[in-house]
């Protein structure tokens, strides 16, 4: 755990909460909470309304059934049978409201303590809500009921109803459930907000701290990867890869600067000494011409060196690549062998091509540049000395992909030096007197890297074999 720097004040809670509230994660949490609350509110309203409507319809149906049954009882046995039916129904656990009044409005029978006179004013067959008083445990309790009345042929009126308390209690239960749900959502949202804010701010602080070290010049810093596989881990992996690439480029730039300062100092000094020597002697046009011609030749070599450095830099940066296209490796090596055949004959070297059909995706010009550098190196350094030299260009295919190789039968390169010669301006002691800048294999390595190919230097027994292995498509 990273210790807090000495003297650093702890950030106030309010400031931390204010900073957390501005994070995207917290804003998304609040947005989700608001959206879900609105959705839940409308869902509860719709469910409550529909449930109340269904219960009201059921009450209407129950009242209509009771009215029809009581009318049948009256027709079958008059008031005696009607009163008997009312008494039997009033004793049930789920009894409705039953009330009978005479022609003067005086109560005759029923299970209701008091009803307003308006309860018998209905002129249609529709039930309607009214207030009434009902005794419960010896106490008069105010209720609301849905009632309907009908008249008998003797002038009496019968009222049938159903208490609306169950429907109202259902609404109360729904409201309480909604309030509890909103409270729970707020609590859960707050907990989520605190968790996300702490987690997000911690990861963001780590990113800011690492970025600050990088800006200060410390490129060794890396973003932590927790292994959770979330978006922060993906961002950290991508940024760490970018930092590693930047470090490699910076190291390459430093190496190039060091190599340029070291390896180009000698030819520049040689140029200056040659010109100074020509000017220091007595006037001699022929000697001056020779000095100028040698200077031009040395300058051309320096220009070629800088061109090679520029090409390596462009290839490593990827700016020399165009849209990848299919490249026929067999046709490529045949063309290069044909191009170098006159040069090889002049050097007493035999060029052999063994190419199987193979196609890779890449930049044809860069691949041709890599192969010509390998052939050029083989012509310069691959001569056995005591017999005619042989250079073999080969293309093979296999399950792992295509391979392009250039082999000679010269002295080769010691195994301990094969990795080192891929660097810039590296020239082995045996090849110091041969022309060249020591950049050819560096350029080949850069081309191989951009084509996701592996470059290996192998023993050809005798000689050296340089192999470019391309991945299978």
pLDDT mean over 335-343: 92
pLDDT at 330 over 90: yes
Q: How far apart are CA 86 and CA 257, in angstroms?
A: 111
CA proximity to 43, closest of 167, 185, 166: 185
Strand partners, 332: none
pLDDT tens column, 97-126: 888 888 888 888 887 777 777 777 665 567
Q: How far apart are CA 167 and CA 173, in angstroms?
A: 10
pLDDT at 301 over 80: no
Percentage of the chain surpassing pLDDT 70? 84
Q: How many CB atoms lie within 10 A of CB 332?
A: 21
**Confidence (pLDDT) at 5:** 43
| pLDDT tier, 323 (very low <50, low <70, confident <90, very high otherwise) | confident
pLDDT tens column, 193-202: 667 666 777 7
**Confidence (pLDDT) at 458:** 92
Instruction: Please classify residue 112 by burial: count the beta carbons closer than 10 Å to its beta carbon, then call 0-12 exposed, 13-18 middle and 19+ buried.
Output: buried
**Confidence (pLDDT) at 241:** 84
| Comparison of pLDDT for 90 and 200, the residue scoring more | 90
Instruction: Give whichever of 132-136, 256-260, 276-280, 410-414 has the largest mean pLDDT.
Output: 410-414
DSSP one-letter string for 413-447? --GGGTTGGGSTT---GGGTTSS--S-HHHHHHHH
Q: How far apart are CA 288 and CA 275, in angstroms?
A: 8
| pLDDT tier, 331 (very low <50, low <70, confident <90, very high otherwise) | very high
Total residue count of the chain as it appears in this document = 473
pLDDT at 373 over 80: yes
| pLDDT tier, 303 (very low <50, low <70, confident <90, very high otherwise) | confident
| pLDDT tier, 329 (very low <50, low <70, confident <90, very high otherwise) | very high
**Confidence (pLDDT) at 333:** 94
pLDDT mean over 316-331: 78
Q: What is the mean pLDDT of the chain?
A: 80
User: Any idea which of 38-47, 410-419, 453-462 has the lowest mean pLDDT?
Assistant: 38-47
Q: Which residue has the tokens 């082995």?
A: 428
pLDDT mean over 434-463: 84
pLDDT tens column, 231-289: 778 888 888 888 887 887 777 677 667 766 666 676 778 788 888 887 887 887 888 88
Give how far Cα 184 sits from Cα of 37, 176, 187, 188, 197, Å: 11, 12, 5, 6, 19
Contact yes or no for 381/434 (Cβ under 8 A): yes
Q: How far apart are CA 245 and CA 250, in angstroms?
A: 9
Instruction: Give whichever of 137-151, 223-237, 393-407 has the largest mean pLDDT.
Output: 393-407
Cis peptide before 462 (omega within 30 of 0): yes
**Confidence (pLDDT) at 123:** 52
Q: How far apart are CA 29 and CA 443, in angstroms?
A: 53
**Confidence (pLDDT) at 8:** 43
> How distant is the alpha carbon of residue 227 from its chain centre?
14
Q: How far apart are CA 16 and CA 113, in angstroms?
A: 65
Q: How many CB atoms lie within 10 A of CB 259?
A: 19
Contact yes or no for 309/439 (Cβ under 8 A): yes
> How distant is the alpha carbon of residue 60 from its chain centre?
59
pLDDT at 402 over 90: yes
pLDDT tens column, 14-73: 665 566 566 666 677 677 777 877 877 787 788 778 877 888 888 888 888 888 998 898
> How distant is the alpha carbon of residue 80 from its chain centre?
83
Residue 157 in tokens:
């009126």
> How distant is the alpha carbon of residue 130 from its chain centre?
64
CA proximity to 403, closest of 368, 440, 360, 369: 360
User: 13-21 vs 165-215: helix axis angle to the nearest 10?
Assistant: 100
Q: How far apart are CA 127 and CA 148, in angstroms?
A: 5
pLDDT at 1 over 60: no
**Confidence (pLDDT) at 357:** 93
Q: How far apart are CA 226 and CA 295, in angstroms?
A: 61
pLDDT tens column, 200-210: 777 777 778 87
3-state secondary structure (DSSP) of residue 320: coil
Strands 107-110 and 139-151: unpaired
Residue 15 in tokens:
């400031």
For the entire predicted model, the pTM comes to 0.49
Q: How far apart are CA 378 and CA 409, in angstroms?
A: 9
pLDDT tens column, 172-185: 887 788 778 778 87
Instruction: Give whichever of 44-48, 141-145, 234-238, 462-466 has the largest mean pLDDT.
Output: 462-466
**Confidence (pLDDT) at 254:** 74
């Amino acid at each position: 755990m990273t210790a807090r720097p000495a003297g650093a004040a702890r950030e106030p809670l309010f400031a931390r909460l204010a900073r957390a509230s501005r994070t995207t994660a917290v804003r998304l949490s609040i947005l989700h909470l608001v959206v879900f609350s609105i959705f839940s509110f409308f869902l509860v309203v719709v469910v409550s309304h529909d449930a109340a409507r269904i219960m009201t319809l059921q009450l209407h149906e129950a009242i209509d059934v009771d009215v029809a049954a009581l009318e049948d009882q009256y027709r079958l046995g008059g008031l005696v049978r009607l009163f008997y039916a009312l008494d039997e129904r009033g004793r049930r656990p789920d009894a409705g409201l039953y009330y009978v009044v005479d022609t003067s409005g005086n109560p005759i029978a029923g299970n209701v303590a008091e009803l307003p006179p308006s309860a018998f004013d209905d002129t249609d067959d529709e039930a309607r809500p009214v207030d009434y008083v009902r005794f419960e445990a010896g106490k008069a309790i105010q209720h609301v009921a849905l009632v309907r009345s009908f008249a008998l042929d003797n002038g009496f009126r019968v009222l049938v109803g159903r208490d609306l308390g169950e429907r109202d209690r259902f609404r109360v239960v729904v409201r309480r459930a909604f309030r509890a749900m909103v409270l729970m959502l707020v609590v859960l949202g707050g907990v989520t907000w605190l968790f996300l804010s702490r987690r997000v701010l911690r990861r963001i602080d780590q990113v800011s701290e690492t970025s600050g070290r990088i800006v200060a010049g410390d490129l060794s810093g890396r973003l932590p990867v927790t292994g959770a596989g979330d978006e922060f881990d993906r961002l950290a992996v991508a940024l760490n890869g970018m930092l590693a690439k930047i470090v490699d480029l910076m190291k390459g730039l430093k190496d190039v600067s060091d190599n340029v300062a070291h390896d180009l100092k000698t030819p520049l000094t040689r140029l200056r000494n040659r010109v100074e020597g020509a000017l220091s002697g007595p006037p001699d046009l022929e000697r001056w011409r020779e000095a100028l011609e040698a200077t031009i030749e040395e300058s051309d070599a320096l220009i070629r060196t800088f061109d090679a450095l520029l090409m390596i830099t462009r290839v490593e940066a990827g700016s020399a690549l165009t849209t990848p296209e299919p490249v026929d490796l067999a046709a490529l090596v045949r063309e290069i062998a044909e191009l170098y055949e006159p040069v090889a004959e002049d050097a007493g070297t035999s060029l052999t091509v063994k190419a199987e059909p193979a196609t890779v995706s890449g930049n044809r010009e860069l691949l041709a540049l890599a192969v010509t550098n390998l052939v050029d190196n083989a012509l310069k350094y691959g001569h056995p000395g005591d017999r005619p030299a042989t250079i073999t260009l080969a293309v093979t295919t296999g399950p792992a992909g295509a391979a392009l190789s250039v082999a000679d039968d010269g002295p080769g390169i010691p195994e301990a030096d094969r990795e080192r010669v891929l660097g810039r301006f590296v020239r082995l002691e045996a090849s110091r007197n041969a022309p060249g800048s020591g950049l050819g294999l560096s350029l080949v390595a850069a081309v191989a890297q951009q084509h996701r190919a592996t470059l290996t230097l192998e023993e050809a027994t005798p000689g050296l074999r340089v192999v470019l292995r391309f991945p299978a498509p």
